Amino acid sequence: MGCTPSIPNIVIVYELVDNSLFNMLHMKRTVEIPLPVRVRIALDCARVYLYMHNLGIVHRDIKSHNVLVDNNFNVKVCDFGLAKFIADLNTGTMQFAGTPCYMAPELFAKRQYNEKVDVFAFGTLLWEIIERKVPHDGFEAGEIRAKVDSGE
């Protein structure tokens, strides 16, 4: 909605969106979200991630907690704290970041990776949107890694 790009006090003002996709899907289970609305949300997310990748940016923490949804079911992707430019992947500290429930096998194995880690995470997010289930619910990171490595 506005910004003040004065270094060192950069300020960005956003509209208030108090509903994450995670809350919509899991905390408000009694609220019906018709399949066409969920598909529209998924398509909007896909458009955002494609736009980012076309700019050379990898989000690296795609998950339902980082998708805000307003009262009209418009999507707002947030939390770019782990985002990197594609050219900067596999360099520096915290190179293997993300949330275990959405992490690609190459991240668990600490191998080199590219923007496809977002594609893997989006696939998990897509499953979550359609099924309205929490990915790998109740499993620890090591158990999730074993399931992902074995193709489960």
Annotated catalytic residue: which of 18, 61, 79, 149? 61
For residue 69, report the phi and psi dihedrals to the nearest 5 degrees.
-130, 125
How many angstroms separate the CA atoms of 52 and 117, rounded? 13
Query: Known catalytic residue: 61?
Result: yes
Helix axes 35-54, 116-131, angle to 10 degrees: 170
In Å, what is the CA distance from 90 to each residue of 26, 96, 152?
34, 8, 26
Q: Which amino acid is at 72?
A: N
Q: In sequence order, what are the beta bridge partners of 85? A: 57
In Å, what is the CA distance from 48 to each residue of 42, 44, 132?
10, 6, 21
- Active site positions, annotated: 61
